[in-house]
Every structure is written in structure tokens, then in C-alpha cells.
Amino acid sequence: MVNSESDSSDTNLNNCYQKLGIAYPKFFKMDAVSKAGFICSEILLSHIPFIKELKKEYIAVLINSASGSHDTDVKFQETINSKDSYFPSPGLFVYTLPNIIMGEICIRNGFKGENLCLISEKPDINQIFINVSAWLESGSADICLCGWVEARDNKTSVSLLIVGKDPDKSVAEFTKENLKIYFSSC
């Protein structure tokens, strides 16, 4: 499990990326919520050696957030509202979807399984549990990277974990009670 709360200014996120020695040039185009989730997923996945053995079609991703892409939505609207330099930025537009963070994580890692982005004020333990349970029980997923990713007003809160059917291929036992514990600080 990875938990992080920090300043999500571009400078801090870029410094963290560079200190980790990640080689992914697309990182610098990402918005703050994508950068924060991407960095934490990289840290978590680097400690999960069996991830490379799994079929990518059976690795699911579920991200929960309060504001999704709100900060980027505001920046994009500013590019539309500007009378002097009207130019809706395509670089910002792609990040106006709250599920783009999942896309960045999946593209980077080749994950092709189920995915879902939930928007709620705080981690929606019931919806996370219902959806991930359904994926695991139906056989459409063997494991799921799930968690909370929030970045707004230069502050981030990220809590990610890997859960699965097989206790040997899970960072945490997948129970509703454990989800409550893991996401209690969000």
C-alpha cells in the first residue's frame, strides 16, 4: 500500500519523479492528479514483483476521487474565456476527464482489465468493495490496483493498494473492513 499527502505543485511532483528515476517523458504533460497517482502507482508497483507474471487483461484499476479533474477543468476554461489569447488548449483538454489518471497508469503498465473512476466526497468503501468484488468473483480480474487519488489547490492525497483473490498475489486481504482502515486517513 502507498499513502501520500503532499504539496502537488508541478515543481514538487516533477522533483519526485526525477528522484525516483522514472523514464516516462509523457509525465511532464500530465496534470497534477495524474502525476500524483502515477508516481504513487509506480512506487507501489515497483514492490510487486509478481505483477509482471500476470496477464494484463486481468489487472483492473479503480480510482476514487473527490474533485477528479476539477483543477484542470478550471485551467481549460480559462483558455476558452481569454478574449486576448483565445485558444482552447488540446494539451489541457485531454486531462479534463477524471478517469485520465487510470489511462495513464494503464498505458504505462499495459493493463487492459476492467477500470472505473468514482467521484465522491471521500472514499466510497461500499462502491469500491462492490465493484472490485464483482470483478474478482466473475473472473474478469485477478487483481485490482484501487484507491483514492485527490489533487486540488496544490494539495494531494493518494492511497493505493493492490487486492486480489489469491492472498499471495495481494498486498492486502480484500475485505470491507480492511478498505475502511486503509482509506480512513483520506
Closest of 143, 92, 93 to residue 114, by C-alpha: 143
pLDDT of residue 24: 93
Residues in the chain: 186
pLDDT of residue 154: 83
Q: How far is CA 44 from CA 4, 34, 38, 48, in A?
A: 11, 15, 10, 7
Question: b vs e for 122-140, b when ≥16 Cβ sit within 10 Å of the residue's Cβ?
Answer: ebbbeebbebbbebbeeee
Which residues of the chain carry a pLDDT beneath 70?
A: 1-9, 169-172
pLDDT of residue 78: 83
pLDDT tens column, 120-143: 999 999 999 999 999 999 999 999
pLDDT of residue 40: 94
Distance CA 161, CA 147 (A): 6
Fold of 2-69+98-182: Peroxisomal Thiolase; Chain A, domain 1 (3.40.47)
pLDDT of residue 156: 87
pLDDT of residue 56: 97
